[in-house]
Structure 1
Amino acid sequence: MLNHFVQTSEPLSRRLLSKSAFSLSLASLAFFSINTAQSAPSSIEKITIYQGLASVTRALPTSGGGEQTLVFSCLSPFIDQNSLSVQASSGVNIGEISTETLSGEQAAQCQYQADAAVQTKQNSLAEITAELEAARLAKAYLQNLTKVTQISTDGTPSSNARDIEAQAAAVNKRILAIQQRQALAQDELNQLMAGSATSTGTTVTQVSVRTASRTPAAVKLHYQVRGASWEPTYQARLNTNTEQLNITASAIIAQQTGENWSNVPLTLSTVNPNQNTSSRLPRVKRLGLYDESRGKIARSAAPVMEAMPVVVSGEADYAGADQPNRAPLPSFTVSSQNKNGIIEYRLPQRVSIPSDGRRVRTVLDEQSGASKLWLRSTPSIETAAYWYASAPFITPAWVDGSLQLYRDDNYVGQSRYSYQTLKEQGIGFGIDPNILVKEIKDDDKQGDKGVFNRTQTLTTTQAYQFTNQHNKARQLQVLGSEPVSRDDDLKVTVTHTPPVTERNWNDNQGMVAWEFTLPSKQSAVIQSTSQVSYPADKILTGN
């Protein structure tokens, strides 16, 4: 009996290895079968993001073996079901389209399906688990073999038994090492899943499409989903020595649609789908006459309002530019297209945007060139002067957004990018402490009203001094105002010293502007005197 166990234990290492490999193969095969049994996620061919919603195009292949039902699984619960449409190439017949909402375990399985990093880590963890199970099986086998060997030798020490115990000890060490790798892989997976968690809650949408075809083809599903948006943001950098201005336009993208968008082609559109799609009709007065004899009013029929039009936009499929075989570096230059006032920005690279609200930023455009610099002061409001720069290269294609301002590589604050305003008034870059502004006179004098005096007057005088402490001359623009009469009995006379350069500045009635060069280390004074006369029996009003 002892000889039998000794003989069978001689090829023990080889047999254990074979057993472990067999167990590992079974575990790996089971894992592979589970994954392939799941519905294959559809590929995203195009996403266009608007303000507050996104238009998504997905695709699934047909086998071409006749009738087949395609299942677009793990879609957002916020899909606008009225926007669903299906397209396919010729030769594919499309039948009914059904939509259902899934919850519970089915929704949980979808949560990380589109996250490639999570899937990779899950595969790695499954392999480690299979390896651990195989090692535990080998340990159990060795334990049983050791017990049988000890019983067979009637307590007599045996080199074969000691050899088995040594192998068992080695298996124990291997199990410990595998458990440590498993714990580390599980922690990494937990971190990934925490970082890519979606906002789907407990529901997802599933769309089933009945098809029939004789050859393999692709079926595309189009839909709109809320929870996605993008906003423009700008950075303006001014060099006051070279008088160069650079403006960078970027887009900040975020989405909480419930779908994790991984490595997808993206287009940003400036159109706002929430705005009115048609103009309003004018009001028509319906007149009638009261008939006293009948005691009632003749009424006309209420006008029939036209139905709001349904706007359907068809967009070409995304087609990335052909890349050369030996490109030194990928280009991230965004292409733009103006479609009669609607600007589309198409990103050349594929991007990943999880559905957790994180903000993804990408550069859309960049413009730079020579700028005209000046210092502007409105001393009646604030005794200070501000840097300003013209931007002749700005474009109305850029939509309004926040504007970060840098002067000589220093962040000076933020403003608002508005094409019309910046084109007319320039871009402000903060206070210049080297231009000193001082108020030297601000007097109001009320004229006396006598018994025989039928008018009264109000005289106002304002004067300000500007001092240039720069080492070079600076162009200065001073904005002021003068009273505007809205009554024929109210007379206004204004004297400016020196004379103003422009009245009704930028088409603003009553605003005036002085523009002049202020030499280095010198001062200049501007004075305005206004006289208002009006009947003594009236009260002067206005701001």
Structure 2
Amino acid sequence: MANSFAFKTPIDGEKAIKSKIKEVTIFLNRAQVTNVAKVYIAAGKTKLVFEGLSTKMAKQSLQVSAKGNLTIMSVKHRINYLKSFSKARRIKQLEDSIEYLDDRIAKVNIEKEVLTSEEKMILANKKMGGQKGVTAQELAEMAAFYRKRLSEIRFAVLRHSKKLKKYRKHLNKTKYQLRIENKNANKPTSEIMVTVSAKTAINADFELNYIVMNAGWKPIYDLRAKNANSPIQLSYKAEVYQNTGIDWKNVNITLSTGNPTQSGYKPNLAPWYVNLYYPRPSSGAFYNKRSAAQKVPSNYSLDEVVVTKGRRKLAKKEESKTIANFTKVVESTFATKFGISIPYSIPSNGQPQLVDVKNHTLKTIYNRGAVPKLDKDAFLMAQLIDWEKFNLLSGKANIYFEGTFVGETYLNAQNTKDTLSISLGRDKRIIIDRKEIKNYSKKKFFGSNIKQTFGYEITMRNTKNEQVNITIEEQIPVSKNNKITVELLEAKGAKVDANTGKVVWKLTLNPKQTSKLYLKYSVKYPKKKRIIFGN
């Protein structure tokens, strides 16, 4: 572990070293940076100062190694408050732009002032027209001159005003951008002091490894389907960000699913006690002891719609390569790493930058699904098979169908099933209607009980010229009281879950076919009681 102290004044006998970032491994939170430098070492003891490093460095993670016949005697970390980061090229460009715009605004203002002065002079000399001795011809010529010249002047002033407005708008935007770029300017730098000893003069290769904060990445996906018969193309991407104070220029990037901030220690179970509850007396004294209840994590799950077959092989066309074609996937014990072999540049501005990770073709089965009780539209569903083998993380996904953006969904990688269902949007060519059967829904009295019956008719029509598979979901209430009895009277061909009350039909509709389903059930309860339906 490196020691750390604040740098106050320069120390004689130190050799300043400029190192270069060679590669970066970016975790979900934080990143591991590798700097390299080739250094000439004289015989004897030498103090090297690797300067211009990020102040976001976690000093306890620092590792220094060297190739050569030398001995590393000590490694220390310090903050240099006297030497700030060099001005970035982008900042210099913005400052030059501001200077140029200031000059243009000043020039236009001068031209505008000259024109205004000329206008005043002409207007002041109009009284000459009223002097004696001026002929009608001369007066007409002067009027024509005033009219022409004043028009030219005022149109020129109008053009200059528009120029000023444009320049000032551009100037304000440039100044705003400069403020953003200057967030990391004039800040202290981090330095690594390395004391080495060599018997003879040598050229040594040094490598510095350390963890930095204010960096990370999160997954984002594009799911594309050409039509309802083609496999889904998944583009695995990453939104990479860093605000470490140092731009990563043309470095090798590796994305890791690991998280160095997460503890690696297995938790231990403490005794879990149960006791009788005693009401708190009005005096405020306590007679019962509280025990810490174990937290049970809630699992986020997605309702899936089971879909049936319907696949067609598509002829593959050779496509242009992206960075995703140059990604190497390595699975370790605790994480998966995506090595992108093409060098990348990530500026230190905290803004997410999109990196292509990998492209996959997913085996897909399509189906339509509908819940007429809540929405009478049918939804095109895609069931992704064997998705878990692609090392996906939970994240937002953009969905494209037939070349059109459909919407966003959430890809839940914590799903424990081997299939994953996503909705591709509404299929308006499947027409669905749901109506209550009026002459069936009624109340009857049986002794001390009331039996209330409900009936619904679901009508579906396939207006397509092709066969479609569709899953219809309905439900019956589930009793939460032993005095209430629910009985399913009709749901021909459906699969019923007694615990949830869900009623599911799986159907195949031929082209132009109309089909009907019927759901009937009863609820029996005491005569003098009321029932309520709810979640």
Q: Give the TM-score range, shorter chain.
A: 0.5 to 0.7
Partner of 1:364: 357
Matched, 1:200 2:184: yes
Matched, 1:512 2:503: yes
Within-5 A mapping of 1:513-532: 513-532=504-523
Out of 431, 434, 438, the position equivalent to 1:439 is 434
| Equivalenced residues, count | 391
C-alpha distance after superposition, 1:184-210 (max 9, x if no partner): xxx9xx99x959946424222122111
Contact 1:76 1:200 in 2 (8 A): no
Partner of 1:81: 59
Distance 2:264 2:489 in 1: 52
Partner of 1:418: 412
Contact 2:233 2:361 in 1 (8 A): yes
Moved more, 85-94 or 440-449: 440-449
TM-score (norm 1): 0.64
Contact 2:33 2:211 in 1 (8 A): yes
Within-5 A mapping of 1:400-419: 400-419=394-413
User: What is the one-letter code of the residue matched to 2:520?
Assistant: T
Contact 1:199 1:256 in 2 (8 A): no
| Percentage of pairs with the same residue | 20
Out of 460, 463, 468, the position equivalent to 1:469 is 463
Secondary structure of 1:434's counterpart equals strand
Partner of 2:345: 352
Distance 2:443 2:517 in 1: 24
Contact 1:332 1:349 in 2 (8 A): no
User: What is the one-letter code of the residue matched to 1:255?
Assistant: Q
Contact 2:324 2:359 in 1 (8 A): no
Out of 22, 25, 42, the position equivalent to 1:48 is 25
User: What is the one-letter code of the residue matched to 2:209?
Assistant: H
User: What is the one-letter code of the residue matched to 2:242?
Assistant: Q
Distance 2:272 2:392 in 1: 41
Contact 1:198 1:356 in 2 (8 A): no
C-alpha distance after superposition, 1:263-292 (max 9, x if no partner): 11111111233434323221215899xxxx
Distance 2:420 2:490 in 1: 23
Partner of 1:65: 42
Within-5 A mapping of 1:36-435: 39-66=16-43, 67-89=45-67, 91-103=69-81, 106-109=83-86, 111-112=87-88, 197=181, 199-201=183-185, 202-213=187-198, 214=200, 215-240=202-227, 242-284=229-271, 332-368=325-361, 370-395=363-388, 397-419=391-413, 420=415, 423-424=418-419, 426-435=421-430
Label 1:483 to 1:120 Cα distance change in 2 as closer, same or farther (>3 A): closer
Shift of 1:332: 4.3
C-alpha distance after superposition, 1:79-111 (max 9, x if no partner): 22222222234643222323222336x2043x4
Distance 2:522 2:443 in 1: 10
Partner of 2:492: 498
Distance 2:263 2:324 in 1: 37
Distance 2:68 2:524 in 1: 84
Label 1:422 to 1:382 Cα distance change in 2 as closer, same or farther (>3 A): farther
Contact 2:467 2:511 in 1 (8 A): yes
Distance 2:459 2:322 in 1: 57
Shift of 1:241: 5.3
Distance 1:234 1:431 in 2: 21
Shift of 1:528: 1.0
Partner of 2:284: none
Partner of 2:125: none
Label 1:478 to 1:264 Cα distance change in 2 as closer, same or farther (>3 A): same
Moved more, 340-349 or 266-275: 266-275
Label 1:227 to 1:198 Cα distance change in 2 as closer, same or farther (>3 A): farther
Which structure is higher in helix share? 1
Shift of 1:492: 1.9
